[in-house]
Amino acid sequence: MFIYAFMKPYFPKIEDIRKAAETIRQVADITPLTQSIRYSKAYDANILLKREDLHRVRSYKIRGAFNKISSLTKEETVNGVVCASAGNHAQGVAFACNHLGIKGTIYMPSVTPKQKVEQTKLFGGDWVTVVLEGDTFDDSSNAAKKFCSAEKKTYIHPFDDPKIIEGQATVGLEILEQTKKPIDYVFVAVGGGGLASGLCAVFKTLSPQTKIIGVEPEGAPSMKTSIEKGVNTELEHIDKFIDGAAVKRVGNLTFNICKEYLHDMVTVPEGKVCQTILDLYNRDAIVVEPAGALTITVLDDFKEEIKGKNVICIVSGSNNDITRTAEIKERALLYGKLKHYFIIRFPQRPGALKEFVVDILGPTDDITHFEYSKKSSRENAPAVVGIELKSPEDLAPLIKRMKDNNFFGDYINDKPDLFQYLI
């Protein structure tokens, strides 16, 4: 006779999450839960921001990393640890290694913003070695796992580990302790799903009426795709711009939790996220990284549902690199239909450029990009021209004036392959 034992799927226990909260209290302060007057007014709701960007490593990732590394055996601590990260998990692991005196090797994608790399080295000090390898998190993760196996070290997964999930779940405990009002919605950014899984566990147990909404970048919808297909699915291609939430495949543990307990799983365009980043900086003096702005960006899509409700947006991190500001602005303008690129055919005669500026451009149109190539054998010489508008409605009249005066060559915003090649 055979006896089959079926294990229940992993689901975090409140007692383990409370234990994690005690552990991380050594290094992580309780982050503020503050009302956003501007967003509350805009959406006719009580919008509260959980400021996880205010940790000393500037993201919630210190919670899970420290909880996991603190749980290692003596043998494991002696052998050292390895992790892979696009930046925030790396900083959490680095800080934990330095604090606990454990050697760590941290793999990061080669495209990781320099600011995140330098911060990781700063937090880790002499206890941490940073290795830049691969173009995506998944590339770095594969390299880290090979090294880990060869050197017999402990791999600190960024999201698919019970101790990581339980550490991230402490965000939910804090929220419930910080407000006496019933919470209607919690919006959480989803990369690998560690934070979302932890929040699902806390609110399912302690506040089951609360709806947990997961938010991913439009260009990396790994959790949304997996939930829709009913199986954890690896994406072939992703947009790596929102690096803190761009993974090809979510965790198995996190997928099983999120598919059952998330109220909804949605995506938002990268360009719209960029506009939120600029708004938060210019109007609220809040600096966030792209992943940190996901939860606020998505509020537009829920404006009718959240009216009169108590809403929590997790601001997950602020590790932004100032060198990315130009790209953030560019993406925001393109999304808002305020930045347009053309191939302009200039007649090869004196005064053609002056005519274009005076007669073709509108009074508020501004040239922000210009690449000209003169061909003596042609009547018209092409130029790639970027024009910033004050209003999306200015585009159609601009194109008409170009065509009426034989300047128009092509509009390249809607030609992705050509756009990437030329700009």
Q: Report which DSSP code applies to 239.
A: -
Instruction: For tokens 């594969």, name the residue.
Output: 142
268: DSSP letter? E
CB count within 10 Å of CB 401 equals 16
Catalytic residue among 61, 153, 240, 339: 61
The distance from CA 136 to its chain's CA centroid, rounded to whole angstroms, is 13
Set 141, 222, 226, 316: catalytic member: 316
For residue 287, the cross-strand partners are none
Contact assessment for residue 273 and residue 266, using Cβ atoms and an 8 Å cutoff: no
278: buried, middle or exposed (CB in 10 Å: 19+, 13-18, 0-12)?
middle
Which strands, in side-by-side order, build the sheet including 310-315? Answer: 33-35, 46-51, 310-315, 185-189, 211-217, 264-268
Which residues have CB under 8 Å from 383's CB, separation 6+?
Answer: 343, 344, 345, 346, 370, 371, 372, 373
- Is 316 one of the catalytic residues? yes
CA distance 176 to 169: 12
Q: What are phi and psi of 139, to 5 degrees?
A: -60, -45
Tell me the Ramachandran region of residue 74: left when phi exceeds 0, alpha when psi lies from -120 to 50, beta otherwise: alpha
Q: Is 70 considered catalytic here? A: no
Q: Give the CB-side neighbour count of residue 29, counting CA atoms within 13 A.
A: 10
Instruction: Specify whether the CB–CB gap between 76 and 97 falls below 8 A.
Output: no
- As annotated, the active-site residues are 61, 316
